[in-house]
């Protein structure tokens, strides 16, 4: 991985070879300049609020696209009736669980790559990008195979009835194939976000969403001569759009931006890279999988209230991510920001970023509380005409809205810990929120208040743990600032 590799990657076209040959033969000067201008954005300099805003804005558009996949599926599937809608609601906990595993890989990739960038080691960032993409793809292929053979026991365990199981089979037997495709594509894009380039990620994901919106009605309802596939069509549209974007992303990042190292490295080198990524990614996976596991338990509990209750809850939790997009975007950029600044020793900038994020969460959270109270009935009516389903969805959104500021802080704090290279506090925050506070409170309030008690428990957990996460993140950063000052003194 010496001069030949650097030389190869600093030449971006055949026409430029003669002009840059001197620089390539005598070091990596031009290579460094190209990376600085094209691939990487230094988050350790400049206004903190401006960096967060400029990075989060394109990320938000990309997240609109990601979340629209499921929302668009639900909208078109809802046209098929209440039973397909309920079947899709049963699928969501498993979808989120697998997506959470991928997000864990993303978190690990962003953390190690952003810290490599913060130390000025682009060659290491390339190595870690390549190895993480390979590992994520292999792991998710294995998970896909297991998933295909366990559809019946998993979804019957969630409470799906004999009437709903064929619809679940139609959807999941195709959707599972998109898991490794998503993993490869998302890790590639996360590697660019770690370099401070969230604009590219937003554009590519938006393209995938546009393709999905076009294909969904064609494949679900059988338009333009295509066979009517209904539930299977929704899954096939998602798989097709993701596959198209994965191929395009790999090609662009390899041939145009050259962010990959050789995939044929020594096994010892790859293992070292994998272990460093998994040191962050493993706990991050645990952090992210806690929530869908808890949601799966909640779905099983809600199933006792009937199919309409499950469908209404499904509508609510599909609308919810759409309004939480700014929080997701902020947490997505918090990780590389914290990672680069922590590696560069800019701890005061990290404390400033924490305050900026908290203010944003409070202001936007209050805005959501008002907006959702007014608009929840209209939003629920877009997905179902059944009054009982709408009532459950509206109640869920109105209760949960008062706690979204806390949830936004939880997400950004966990991302901040991961970016710094300390994932265990994030695990503790998520476990406390979902298992220690929410589930016991949900069981108690369900007995006391019925279905609404479950929603109140969720809102309470968000507020309590959000405040705790804000305080803990600040103390963690200040603790490292004191350590750094002590080391400089002695």
Res 38 pLDDT > 60: no
Res 397 pLDDT > 90: yes
Residue 403's pLDDT band, with cuts at 50, 70 and 90, is very high
Q: What average pLDDT is seen over the chain?
A: 82
Out of 54-58, 91-95, 181-185, 484-488, least confident range: 484-488
Q: What is the pLDDT of residues 98-114, one digit of tens each?
A: 888 888 888 788 888 88
Averaged over 221-229, what is the pLDDT? Answer: 92
Res 31 pLDDT > 70: no
pTM confidence score: 0.67
CA gap 125, 194 in Å, rounded = 9
Q: What's residue 13's pLDDT? A: 33
Computed from CA positions of residues 215, 216, 217, 219, in that sequence, does the dihedral angle turn out positive or negative?
Answer: positive
Q: What's residue 14's pLDDT? A: 36
Instruction: Specify the length of the chain in residues.
Output: 490
Residue 472: both structure tokens together:
């803990």
CA gap 70, 67 in Å, rounded = 6
> Who's near 143: CB < 8 A, 6+ residues apart?
98, 101, 179
Higher pLDDT, 197 or 395: 395
Q: What's residue 65's pLDDT? A: 66
Averaged over 154-160, what is the pLDDT? Answer: 88
C-alpha triplet 418, 425, 413: angle, nearest 5°: 60
100 closest CA partner among 436, 463, 464, 414: 414
Residue 67: both structure tokens together:
């979340």
Res 338 pLDDT > 50: yes
CA gap 187, 99 in Å, rounded = 12
> Who's near 265: CB < 8 A, 6+ residues apart?
1, 127, 130, 131
> Who's near 21: CB < 8 A, 6+ residues apart?
none
Out of 45-49, 56-60, 79-83, 90-94, least confident range: 56-60
Cβ(73)–Cβ(234) below 8 Å: yes
140 closest CA partner among 93, 172, 100, 191: 100
CA gap 423, 414 in Å, rounded = 8
Residue 384 main-chain phi, psi, to 5 deg:
-160, 145
Residue with tokens 């952090």: 287
Residue 370's pLDDT band, with cuts at 50, 70 and 90, is very high
Higher pLDDT, 58 or 225: 225
Higher pLDDT, 478 or 22: 478
Q: What's residue 481's pLDDT? A: 59
Averaged over 278-306, what is the pLDDT? Answer: 79
Cβ(162)–Cβ(23) below 8 Å: no
Residue 482's pLDDT band, with cuts at 50, 70 and 90, is low
CA gap 121, 176 in Å, rounded = 36
Q: What's residue 192's pLDDT? A: 81
CA gap 238, 175 in Å, rounded = 7
Res 337 pLDDT > 70: yes
What percentage of the chain carries pLDDT values higher than 90?
A: 33
């Amino acid at each position: 991985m010496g001069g030949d590799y650097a030389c190869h990657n600093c030449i971006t076209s055949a026409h430029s070879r003669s002009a840059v040959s001197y620089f390539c033969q005598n070091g990596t000067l031009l290579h460094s300049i190209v990376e600085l201008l094209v691939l990487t954005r230094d988050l350790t300099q400049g206004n903190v609020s401006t960096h967060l805003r400029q990075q989060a804005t394109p990320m938000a558009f990309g997240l609109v696209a990601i979340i629209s996949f499921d929302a668009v599926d639900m909208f078109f599937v809802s046209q098929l009736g209440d039973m397909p809608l309920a079947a899709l609601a049963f699928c969501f906990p498993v979808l989120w669980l697998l997506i959470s595993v991928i997000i864990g890989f993303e978190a690990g990739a962003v953390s190690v790559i952003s810290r490599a960038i913060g130390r000025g080691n682009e060659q290491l960032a390339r190595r870690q990008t390549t190895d993480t993409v390979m590992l994520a793809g292999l792991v998710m292929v294995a998970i896909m195979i297991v998933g295909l053979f366990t559809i019946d026991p998993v979804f019957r365990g969630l409470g799906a009835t004999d009437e709903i199981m064929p619809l679940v089979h139609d959807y999941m037997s195709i959707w599972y194939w998109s898991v490794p495709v998503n993993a490869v594509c998302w890790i590639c894009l996360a590697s660019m976000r770690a370099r401070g380039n969230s604009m590219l990620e937003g554009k590519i994901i938006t393209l995938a969403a546009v393709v999905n919106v076009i294909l969904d009605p064609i494949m679900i309802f059988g338009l333009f001569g295509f066979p009517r596939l209904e539930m299977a069509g929704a899954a096939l549209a998602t798989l097709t759009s993701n596959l198209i974007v994965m191929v395009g992303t790999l090609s662009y990042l390899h041939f145009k931006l050259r962010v990959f190292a050789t995939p044929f490295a020594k096994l010892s080198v790859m293992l070292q890279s994998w272990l460093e990524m998994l040191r962050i990614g493993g706990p991050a996976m645990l952090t992210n999988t806690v929530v869908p596991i808890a949601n799966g338990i909640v779905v099983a509990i809600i199933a006792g209230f009937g199919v309409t209750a499950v469908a209404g809850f499904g509508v609510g939790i599909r609308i919810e991510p759409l309004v939480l997009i700014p929080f997701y975007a902020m947490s997505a950029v918090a990780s590389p920001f914290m990672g680069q600044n922590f590696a560069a020793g800019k701890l005061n900038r990290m404390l400033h970023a924490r305050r900026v994020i908290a203010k944003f969460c409070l202001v936007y959270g209050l805005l959501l509380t008002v907006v959702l109270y007014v608009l929840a009935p209209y939003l629920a009516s877009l997905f179902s005409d059944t009054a009982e389903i709408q009532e459950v969805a509206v109640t869920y959104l109105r209760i949960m809205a008062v706690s979204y500021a806390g949830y936004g802080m939880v997400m950004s704090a966990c991302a901040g810990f991961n970016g710094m290279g300390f994932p265990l506090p994030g695990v503790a925050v998520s476990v406390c929120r979902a298992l220690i506070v929410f589930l016991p409170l949900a069981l108690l309030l369900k007995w006391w208040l019925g279905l609404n008690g479950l929603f109140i428990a969720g809102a309470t957990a968000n507020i309590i743990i959000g405040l705790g996460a804000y305080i803990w993140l600040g103390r963690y950063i200040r603790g490292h600032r004191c350590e750094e000052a002590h080391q400089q003194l002695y």
